[in-house]
Amino acid sequence: MIKKDINYFDLEQIAESGQCFRWKKLDEHKYRIPAFGNYLDIAQTGSHFELSCTEKEFEQIWYDYFDIGTDYEGIIKRIDVKDEFLKNAADYGKGIRILNQDIWETIISFIISQNNNIPRIKKGIENMCQRYMRQTDALLGTDIYMIPYLEDIEKNGGRESLSELGIGYRDKYIWGICQFKNQSPDFIDELKKLNYEDAMKYLMDFKGIGKKVANCICLFGLHHLDACPIDVWMKKVIDEEYDGEMPAWMTDKYAGVYQQYTFFYKREKK
């Protein structure tokens, strides 16, 4: 167990910001988080955090995962003083950070997310993890499983078993990208090398990955902070807060951070 003091960091805001689907709420302001073949129990009291890991594990996994090294205070200070809506959204959601998530998990999660609601997304992802039971040494003896690969699916029911997970038509897209990943083992490493524009083009070549899903993968998996996913809530922001005109911040180098503030604020204040 270690303790940290971190500003501009709120577990509940991140959990409700639409970027992660596998955080399990254990208690008020306390979560269990599976990531990168490991897991963390983390509790918050104001800017004080207790984490169930060693200092070495924090430096190796969680410092980067929680994006501790990014200056979110500075990002907020860049906001145009004339943009009252974005200023209010950033003040309201200033505890949100863009997680550095496992890219494979992000791809599968956001394929499942398309035309879906958050409770069903979470259930579909968890059904998949429980069905195919992929664990690492760090997870042995727990009930925590990670996003499967093709070999995990094939040895636990195969292609047809995907239709039993409650993810609907998205099963064929999951199967397709699992096959591609199996045939192209350097797929993720190559994706990491691409800039935002090239990563978008590459991702959108896959069936089941449109512009919105590709933007989510770029932002939440590849950490391209200029990626700005546009969903129904963001369309409401454009229409209702900016008179139908896309605001300048949506093409800013921190567009993805501002998108998270406004997405969270608009949904919470609906």
Q: Determine if the pTM surpasses 0.85.
A: yes
pLDDT in tens, 1-60: 999 999 999 999 999 999 999 999 999 999 999 999 999 999 999 999 999 999 999 999
pLDDT in tens, 204-255: 999 999 999 999 999 999 999 999 999 999 999 999 999 999 999 999 999 9
**Yes or no: domain 2-92 corresponds to CATH 3.30.310.260:** yes
- Judge whether 3 counts as a catalytic residue: no
Fold of 103-220: Endonuclease III; domain 1 (1.10.340)
> Under a CB-based contact definition with an 8 Å cutoff, are residues 118 and 19 in contact?
no
Q: Of 134, 131, 157, which Cα lies nearest the Cα of 145? A: 134
Catalytic residue among 24, 87, 172, 212: 212
Structure tokens at 62: 């969680």
CA distances from 51 to 72, 159, 210, 260 (A): 21, 38, 37, 25
- Does the pLDDT of residue 270 top 80, yes or no? no
* Torsion, CA 233, CA 235, CA 241, CA 243, rounded to 10: -160
Structure tokens at 69: 């090294």
User: For residue 136, what are the contacts with CB-CB under 8 A and spacing of at least 6?
Assistant: 37, 38, 146
Sign of CA dihedral 71, 17, 131, 214: negative
What are the residue boundaries of the structural domains of the chain, listed by start? Answer: 2-92, 103-220
pLDDT (0 to 100) of residue 269: 82
CA distances from 9 to 27, 55, 187 (A): 17, 19, 32
